[in-house]
Amino acid sequence: MVSKEQILTWLEEVKDPEIPVLSLIDLGVITDVVVNPDHVLVEMTPTFVGCPALDYMKLEVESTLKILVSFGTSA
């Protein structure tokens, strides 16, 4: 099982779509990560209410974790 710290490290790769030099971690969008044996819960808080990029950011987080958690647990 991967750790919260590992997930946070992986999420450094998910960049803000409007400011691609900053990650969602840098911006404080990722506010918590909970790792359970059968799933990972990532809590996100947008930088402002009604953020139009929120759905895109959620998809990027999900895609990144699906790839890296599978790789991390099989290695």
* Residue 73 pLDDT grade (very low, low, confident, very high; cuts 50, 70, 90): low
Instruction: Evaluate whether residue 22 is within a structural domain.
Output: yes
Residue 74 lies in a domain: no
Which tens digits make up the pLDDT trace of 9-60?
Answer: 999 999 999 899 999 999 999 999 999 988 889 999 987 888 888 899 999 9
The whole-number pLDDT of residue 75 equals 42
**Number of folded domains that form the chain:** 1
* Domain interval for residue 31: 4-69
11, part of any domain = yes
Residue 25 lies in a domain: yes
* Residue 49, helix vs strand vs coil: coil
53 domain-assigned? yes
Helix 4-11 vs helix 54-74: angle between axes, to the nearest 10 degrees? 130
**Which residues are paired to 34 by β-bridges?**
41
Q: How confident is the model at residue 74, as a pLDDT?
A: 47
- The CATH number linked to 47 is 3.30.300.130
CA distances from 70 to 35, 51, 60, 63 (A): 14, 30, 16, 11
In a domain, 40, yes or no: yes
C-alpha–C-alpha distance, residues 3 and 7, integer Å: 6
